[in-house]
Amino acid sequence: MPWDPRIQALVDRYPVLRAVGNTPLVPVDVLKRDLPDVEVFAKMESLNPGGSLKDRPVLRMLLGALDDGQLKPGKTVLDSSSGNAGIAYAMIGRIIDVPVEIVIPNNASAERKKRMLAHGATLTFTDALLGYDEALREVRRRFEADPDHYFFCDQYSNQDNWRAHYETTAVEIIQQTGGRLTHVVVGVGTGGTLTGLGRRLREHDPSIRLVCIIPEAFPGVEGLKPLGRAEDIVPAILDETLIDERVPVSVDEAYRMFVRRLHGRRRARRTARWPRPLRDALQRHRRALLLDPPLGLTAGRRPRQARRGATRSAKSRIDFSTRSLGIRPPGFIQAVRAVPPGGTSRASSPRCGSAGAASGTAWA
Q: Which residues are catalytic?
A: 54
Give the contacts of 101 (CB within 8 A, at least 6 positions apart). 76, 77, 78, 121, 122, 123, 124, 142, 150
**What residue type is 264 in one-letter code?**
G
Strands (E), the chain: 25-28, 39-43, 76-80, 100-105, 122-126, 150-152, 183-187, 209-215, 245-249, 287-291
Annotate 85-94 with b (16+ C-beta within 10 A) or e (fewer).
Answer: bbbbbbbbbb
Q: Any residues with CB less than 8 A from the CB of 5 and at least 6 apart, and which?
A: none
Q: Which residue type does 252 have?
A: D
Instruction: List CB contacts of 37: < 8 A, sequence separation 6 or more.
Output: 286, 361
Sequence-ordered list of residues with C-beta below 8 angstroms from that of 103, at least 6 positions apart, any chain: 78, 79, 80, 81, 124, 125, 126, 135, 138, 139, 142
Beta-carbon count within 10 A of 42 CB: 26
DSSP type of residue 37: T
List all residues 6 or more positions away from 329 whose beta carbon is below 8 Å from its beta carbon: 319, 320, 323
Rounded Cα–Cα distance for residues 151 and 156 (Å): 14
How many other CB atoms sit within 10 Å of the CB of residue 143? 18
Residues 6+ apart with CB under 8 A from 148: none
Please name which of 326, 340, 318 lies closest in space to residue 111, comparing C-alpha atoms.
Answer: 318
